[in-house]
Amino acid sequence: MSAFSIFTSSEFSDGEVLSLYESVGWSAYTRDSELLTRAIRSSSFVVMARNQDGELVGLARAVSDDATICYLQDILVRPSFQGAGVGRALLEHVTARYAHVRQTVLVTDNDPEQRGFYEAMGFTEGLNFAPEPVRVFALFR
């Protein structure tokens, strides 16, 4: 298993963030690297994972009012570190930081592995809420 460390500092270079997002194919973010780094720096909470050499291998960021809602905007792990517990560690840091808020929300791709990961982390898809399902709406531009 690959060794990594988690940091709540948002110290990063623009190039290493761009490399991480490119490694997972998130081209909607990488088209405008200045916008991406501004978004990360403006987030309410950022947690990063670095390998033993200091390379950025994972990142999660949240936007929150710190009272009732936490929106998990991004959680990504460099492919060579996927399956090593990095995503779990990042998500645990975010959920611990916002344990006091009523809702933690995320929007993700329709990938069965992602669904399994988020369900294992305690998330429920809107249609599966009991006793009544909820609707989740999003507007993408």
In the 8-state DSSP scheme, what is residue 117? H
Q: For the chain, what percentages of helix, strand and coil (3-state, to nearest 5) are there? A: 35, 25, 40
The pLDDT tens digits of the residues spanning 40-56 come to: 999 999 999 999 999 99
pLDDT single digits (tens) 60-93: 999 999 999 999 999 999 999 999 999 999 999 9
Would 114 be classed as within a structural domain? no
Q: Considering its fold, how many domains does the chain have in total?
A: 1
Q: Is the pTM of this model over 0.85?
A: yes
> What CATH number did the domain enclosing 87 receive?
3.40.630.30
Residue 41 lies in a domain: yes
Provide the domain limits for residue 87: 4-108
Q: Is 6 exposed, middle or buried (0-12, 13-18, 19+ CB in 10 A)?
A: middle
User: Average pLDDT over the chain, rounded to whole?
Assistant: 92
Helix axes 14-23, 33-41, angle to 10 degrees: 100
